[in-house]
Amino acid sequence: MLLGILLALIAGSLVGMQNIFNSKVNEHANSWATTTLVLCLGFLASLTLGFVFEGSQILAFHPMQTWYWFSGLIGVGVVTCVVQSMKRLRPTVAISIVMASQLGFALIMDTYGFLGLKPVPFTFKQLIGVLIIIVGIVLFKSNSREEKQQKEIAS
């Protein structure tokens, strides 16, 4: 349990840093060029770490289902949808909805054992937990930097 939470915390802090770095790249380049660079480096880093930890095993052929080859398209979907929502809504509002949606779908996928996950039975306690987190996200995002900047620009 603790190891799992620790790993998720590491992932989250790196995502937070990556978001800042990527947006710095995005200040100079458009979103497709930025996405291409980000995924290219992700690919090279994964390949390198794979070699470090597993040696040539990383290149061993495994039987795969066809859709595995298209899994990278999910990442393209992420970028497209998040960028489009940020264009149409205030950034803080967009990100709050994205995060709430992430949690909502996580609960649904756990409950139904989506894609071979071990089903985690849905309980009232889980719903309460997720709702409290969503309220926390909205509170955290309320009155934050981006909106102030927008007000400054507006005034």
Partner 1 sequence: MKGILFALLGGFFITLQGVANSRISQDIGTWQATTLTQGTGFVAAFILMMVFRDDTWKQFRRVKPLYLAGGSFAAIVIFSNVTAIHLIGVTVSISALLIAQLSMAFLTDSFGWFGVSKQRMKLPQFIGIGMMIAGVLILSF
Contacts with partner 1 in 113-142 (CB under 8 A)? Answer: 114-118, 120, 125-126, 128-133, 135-142
Q: Which of 56, 66, 69, 154 binds partner 1 (CB under 8 A)?
A: 69
Residue 33 binds to partner 1 (criterion: CB under 8 A): yes
Residue 49 interacts with partner 1 (CB under 8 A)?
Answer: yes
Applying CB under 8 A, among 56, 68, 153, 154 the residue interacting with partner 1 is: 68
Q: Write down the residue that tokens 């409950």 correspond to.
A: 111
Encoded amino acid at 97, one letter:
I
The residues, ordered by sequence, that sit 6+ positions from 127 with a Cβ below 8 Å of its Cβ are 107
Q: Does residue 112 interact with partner 1 by CB under 8 A?
A: no
Q: How far is the CB of 91 from partner 1 (least distance, A)?
A: 11
| Separation of alpha carbons 40 and 34, rounded Å | 10
Tokens of 39: 């995924």
Query: Residue type for 25, please?
Result: V
